[in-house]
Amino acid sequence: MSIILDHVNYIYEEDTTMAYPALTDVNLVIPDGQFIGLIGHTGSGKSTLVQHLNGLLKPTSGAIYYNGADINDEGYDKKLLRSKVGLVFQYPEHQLFEVDVFSDVCFGPKNLGLDKKEIQLRAYAALKQVGIADEYFYQSPFDLSGGQKRRVAIAGVLAMKPEVLILDEPTAGLDPKGRDEILDQIAKLREETGMTVILVSHSMEDVAKYVDRLIVMNKSRVVFDDTPAAVFAHYEELEQIGLAAPQITYIMQALREKGLSVDTGITTVTEAKEAILKALRG
């Protein structure tokens, strides 16, 4: 059970003078249960790629398989696909429209044609999952703070009970505290449910400590696809494409050059502390 991308190409405004290749020969296998970070500079094609995964965009050439079936085949149930592959857009709070928070979260499951009881149960569970307290349920979504609005919007997708959750830059425009809260919540969510999560970001620092696989994009192509440690080992190439490894990677690199034998694939401060202590103690 997985998502497979086979030689996917996508060109915006094909057949015009403004034709722009946004995806070039993308090949990926995304097995169940992975926590993936999709990283790339602004304009590298991240959003374009994730919109292919739930059939919002159709590849100019190449194919996408979900659980073995080509999602762009005639008669493939796109609506069902979209409930299985939940996509949270960038600035998702801009899509809120209902009179209160609870009804807005009900929108997704309602479109799936579920019965009323099930819809409400799902909406309730989803709002709890993103940490929205009961007292906000019947407020207008427009009265909430930025971070809360975003959680509600994420709940709106969670309520469809997706097997794969894709979040396009979920931390864009949030302050550091709001950013950490959302990311921690997502990590917790994924621990509880075991679903596949794809986290899109342009910041290494954000995702490095959470994910177990990093896909790096540059100019419409996938340039790295490996564990975070293995990707960060290419920190010089990463710099050339306008990305940087987490600062801790640089410190470990410098320590190693000075003769301290530490692992340079380290991505978090806690790991670094352990490694340095271990190296010093011999």
Partner 1 sequence: MLKDITLGQYYQTDSVIHRLDPRVKLVSTVVFIISLFIVDNFIGYLIAAAFLFAVIKLSKVPFSFMVRGMKSILILLLFAVVFNLFLTPGEVLVSFWKLKITKEGLRLAVMMAVRLMFLIIGSSVMTLTTTPNHLTDGLEKLLNPLKVFKVPVHEIAMMMSIALRFIPILLEETDKIMKAQIARGADFESGNLFKKAKSLVPLLVPLFISAFRRANDLATAMEARCYRGGEHRTKMKPLVYAKRDFMAYAFVFGYLVLCIVFGKILF
Ligand X SMILES: Nc1ncnc2c1ncn2[C@@H]1O[C@H](COP(=O)(O)OP(=O)(O)O)[C@@H](O)[C@H]1O
- C-beta separation of 11 from 66 below 8 A: no
Q: Which of 59, 156, 170, 228 binds partner 1 (CB under 8 A)?
A: 156
In whole angstroms, the minimum distance from the beta carbon of 20 to partner 1 comes to: 12
In whole angstroms, the minimum distance from the beta carbon of 89 to Mg ion comes to: 9
Query: Beta strand pairing status for 164-168 and 85-88?
Result: parallel
Site mask, ligand X, residues 15-34, x = CB under 6 A?
-----x-x------------
d(CA 151, CA 88): 10
Please choose, out of 12-20, 72-80, 113-121, 259-267, the segment that lies near ligand X by the rule CB under 6 A. Answer: 12-20
Sheet holding 221-226, edge to edge: 85-88, 164-168, 196-201, 35-40, 213-218, 221-226
Provide DSSP, 14-52: TTSTT-EEEEEEEEEEEETT-EEEEEE-TTSSHHHHHHH
Q: Which of 63, 112, 125, 174 binds partner 1 (CB under 8 A)?
A: 112
In whole angstroms, the minimum distance from the beta carbon of 19 to partner 1 comes to: 12
Please identify, using beta-carbon distances, which residue of 150 and 161 lies nearer to Mg ion: 150
Provide DSSP, 167-224: EESTTTT--HHHHHHHHHHHHHHHHHH--EEEEEES-HHHHHTT-SEEEEEETTEEEE
Q: Which of 35, 39, 48, 83 binds partner 1 (CB under 8 A)?
A: 83
Site mask, Mg ion, residues 45-64, x = CB under 5 A?
--x-----------------
Please choose, out of 44-52, 76-84, 124-132, 145-153, the segment that lies near Mg ion by the rule CB under 5 A. Answer: 44-52
Q: 199: burial class by Cβ within 10 Å (0-12, 13-18, 19+)? A: buried
Please identify, using beta-carbon distances, which residue of 24 and 227 lies nearer to ligand X: 24
In whole angstroms, the minimum distance from the beta carbon of 105 to Mg ion comes to: 24
Interface with partner 1, residue 76, by CB under 8 A? no
In whole angstroms, the minimum distance from the beta carbon of 57 to partner 1 comes to: 9
- C-beta separation of 252 from 264 below 8 A: yes
In whole angstroms, the minimum distance from the beta carbon of 219 to ligand X comes to: 9
Q: What angle do CA 14, 94, 54 make, to 5 degrees?
A: 50
Please choose, out of 63-71, 110-118, 121-129, 131-139, the segment that lies near partner 1 by the rule CB under 8 A. Answer: 110-118
Backbone angles phi, psi at 221, to 5 degrees: -120, 155
Task: Give the footprint of partner 1 on residues 238-267 (CB under 8 A).
Answer: none
Query: Beta strand pairing status for 213-218 and 35-40?
Result: parallel
Binding site for Mg ion (CB under 5 A): 47
Binding site for ligand X (CB under 6 A): 12-13, 20, 22, 40, 42-48
